[in-house]
Amino acid sequence: MRLEIELPRVPVGDWFDGLVTWLTENLGFVFDAIGTGVEGTVEGLTSVLMAPPPLLMTGICALIALFLSGWKLGLFTLVGFVLIDSMELWEPSMDSLALVIVAAVVAVVIAIPLGIAGARNEMVSRILRPVLDLMQTMPAFVYLIPAIFFFSIGVVPGVVATVIFALPPGVRLTELGIRGVDPEMVEAGEAFGTPPGRILTRIQIPLAMPSIMAGINQLIMLSLSMVVIAGMVGAGGLGGEVLEGINRVDISQGFEGGLAVVVLAIFLDRLTSALGDRTAVSRAMAQMA
């Protein structure tokens, strides 16, 4: 005879639902302010990106790519952005680019201080570790549920979910970079009586910059990977195009939207990688190689 033991159900989901309800009822004005700020910023940046004609904007982006990375990325940017315009996806592409830029900037502003705090304080690091593990392993769709509850449908929940999803690599690689700085360099600064703040800004952050830039690069790529999911909550852009192609089983529309995402991803990836290669430490390592 098999003995069966029935464990009581732990209502974790109900507890979380209660927390979200409490936050909405008591801090609704905070979420309203955040939503207004994010929506206004995204719309403003979209207006800036859409102001020049597509070919002029293509030329500007190609020149930026040429200056930062070289002729190969410049040529790719020129061809890729012209292709996006020829597929009549310029407007949704600029919508997605604005969303990604805003989400990435917010995530960087949060990630770098958290990474620095984790590197300088072991207790903070121990608290951050399981939180980041949860954020990285939780399915991205789950973030949309409370985001919709707090901010309704539109671009704001898409940005919020994107920030949460993209944050962990920025925090982890910042902490890793700061911890990887040679202790003798820090001790030399302390021996000369340098205050801790100046040691951080003049020694640790510059030496950790390659790792920090790698984190920013990964953060931007994860932000772009959320474009389609953000389209599910009314964020529009290329995510909306891909989602519409899925709903209509339109292979052409879905493929073109996905191809535009790939062009933007390669452009942003190579651009941030080039910025990382321009740091003083990266240039010194390249000269030593």
Q: What is the pLDDT of residues 152-203, one digit of tens each?
A: 777 888 888 888 888 888 899 999 988 888 878 777 777 777 777 788 878 8
Q: Could you give the CA distance from residue 268 to residue 282 in angstroms, rounded to a whole number?
A: 19
Please report the pLDDT score of residue 239 as a whole number.
Answer: 78
Which residues touch 42 (CB under 8 Å, ≥6 apart)?
98, 99, 102, 155, 159
CB 156 within 8 A of CB 39: yes
Residue 160 vs residue 6, higher pLDDT: 160
Residue 254, pLDDT > 70, answer: yes
Greatest alpha-carbon pair distance for the chain in Å reads: 78
Share of the chain above pLDDT 70, in %: 93
Please report the pLDDT score of residue 283 as a whole number.
Answer: 58
Please report the pLDDT score of residue 162 as a whole number.
Answer: 85
CB 216 within 8 A of CB 108: yes
Report, as an integer, the average pLDDT of 77-99.
90
Residue 56 vs residue 203, higher pLDDT: 56
Residue 284, pLDDT > 70, answer: no
Please report the pLDDT score of residue 79 as a whole number.
Answer: 92
Chain-wide mean pLDDT for the chain?
82
Q: Could you give the CA distance from residue 184 to residue 190 in angstroms, rounded to a whole number?
A: 10
Angle, to 10 degrees, between the axis of helix 90-120 and the axis of helix 71-86?
130
Residue 238, pLDDT > 60, answer: yes
Report, as an integer, the average pLDDT of 112-140.
87
Please report the pLDDT score of residue 160 as a whole number.
Answer: 85
Report, as an integer, the average pLDDT of 18-33.
79
Report, as an integer, the average pLDDT of 252-256.
84
- Best-predicted range by mean pLDDT (27-36, 115-124, 181-190): 115-124
Q: What is the pLDDT of residues 58-85, one digit of tens each?
A: 999 999 999 888 888 899 999 999 999 9
Report, as an integer, the average pLDDT of 106-123.
90
Residue 281, pLDDT > 70, answer: no
Residue 126 vs residue 224, higher pLDDT: 126
Please report the pLDDT score of residue 80 as a whole number.
Answer: 92
What type of residue sits at position 182? D
Q: Could you give the CA distance from residue 69 to residue 195 in angstroms, rounded to a whole number?
A: 37
The domains of the chain are located at: 31-288
Residue 288, pLDDT > 60, answer: no
Please report the pLDDT score of residue 82 as a whole number.
Answer: 93
Query: Looking up tokens 């919508």, which residue turns up?
Result: 95
Please report the pLDDT score of residue 230 as a whole number.
Answer: 77
Architecture of the domain delimited by 31-288: Orthogonal Bundle (1.10)
Report, as an integer, the average pLDDT of 274-282.
66
